[in-house]
Amino acid sequence: MKARKIVDEMDSYVPGKSQDEIAKDFNLKKEDIIKLGSNENPWGPSPKAIEAIKNEISSINRYPESQLHELVSEIAEYSDVNDSQVIIGGDGADEIIDVLAKTFIDAGDEFIVPLPSYMYYEYLLKQYGAVPVYAKWDLEKNELDVDSINQAISDKTKMIFLCSPNNPTGTLIDKEVLRDIASQNKDILIVIDEAYFEYSEVTNKDLINEFDNIFIIRTMSKVLGLAGMRIGYGLACAEIIEYMHRIKPVFSLTRLSFVAALSTFRDKDFIEESIEKGIESREYLYDEISKIDGLNPFPSKSNFILIGVKDTGFTASELALKLMEKGIIIRDCTSFKGLDEYWIRISICTLEEDKRFIEILKEVLS
């Protein structure tokens, strides 16, 4: 049977490799593999979330709560917004992006993504007939090229995706830049992806009270340590949230995800410690990599670092393979539009794992 034309033309999204894949491919022990490829919290989830999941397991024969009022209130308090300004997604931030598309995109609409950035925006919106238009990040200055955004806007532009900190560059976008873009384009939805905002200690959530065309995406997969539970949320004016609730699947958040999320938001010490350890790991990695000849790491405000490897004599794919053979998973960024074959991305690990990675990296490069 023939698929829809747009599906037939699409390439599959390329995620980072898992520990199970690497263990099988290279005959390694899973427990010996150091994973720096997926921007996760390496210290694990809140112990309170684990306990809540254990206590809820006997209830998984029942449908989950549909309205999620209790969790909405916790997220609103955490984000310092009103309950009416929160929507929760059950497939991480990906479901939030998908619901945005189903709510606001018509076939033929255009959306802008500055490259390089998170490519899942394009992967999801193209399914609904939307057309990507590319702006750019200035890799020389390590900042958003605002002129390229303005030049990309047309009367068909429906959304502009701005990731801050940006994945994979780790770059923050100045709040005044975001404010200017929103104020000058009031008929365009400005989608600000704050998946990594805790690591930057900077948020733009106050802009949703200034503008009714700003939507902020967040996730519980990073600092909050629940990547495997698939929980995301969005912040926007009440009107946008109400429209999206008309489209969002009713039971998309499982019972186990619900109680894990509640317990995590209530575990303030865990959140604070995760942020502190994450920033410590990031700064250690940046400092150590900066000392290695041939590597060009970008300063980052996230839990990952983009590294240029052209001067090492390796391509990103070659270096990634050499490291995988030794049990180190990094992200080969060749699949990122806007980057050539000489960029890798690494994410934080425990300091013990960081030190082992640096040792192996030096060994491979030598």
pLDDT digits (tens, 9 = 90+) for 224-258: 999 999 999 999 999 999 999 999 998 999 999 99
27 has pLDDT over 90: no
pLDDT in tens, 174-195: 999 999 999 999 999 999 999 9
- The residue type found at 130 is A
DSSP annotation of 221 reads: S
Taking the C-alpha atoms of residue 323 and residue 343, their distance in angstroms, rounded to an integer, is 14
pLDDT value at residue 16: 63
Give pLDDT, residue 31: 86
For residue 4, give both structure tokens: 């829809």
Please return the burial class of 312, using the count of CB atoms within 10 Å of its CB with bins 0-12, 13-18 and 19+: buried
pLDDT at 13: 65
Report pLDDT for 22: 80
* Among candidate residues 205, 249, 202, the one with its CA nearest the CA of residue 230: 249
Q: Minimum mean pLDDT among 24-38, 198-212, 314-328: which range?
A: 24-38
The arithmetic mean of pLDDT across residues 41-49, rounded, is 98
Tell me what the mean pLDDT of segment 329-349 comes to: 96
- Report the predicted TM-score, pTM, of the whole model to 2 decimal places: 0.94
Residue 14 confidence (pLDDT): 62
CA 215 – CA 236 distance, rounded (Å): 5
Contact criterion met (CB below 8 Å) for 124 and 145: no
pLDDT at 121 over 80: yes
**Mean pLDDT to the nearest integer, 116-137:** 95
| Residue positions counted in the chain | 366
What are the residues facing 115 on neighbouring strands?
136
Domains and CATH numbers, the chain: 5-44+269-365 (3.90.1150.10), 47-266 (3.40.640.10)
Burial class for 16, CB neighbours closer than 10 Å (0-12, 13-18, 19+): middle
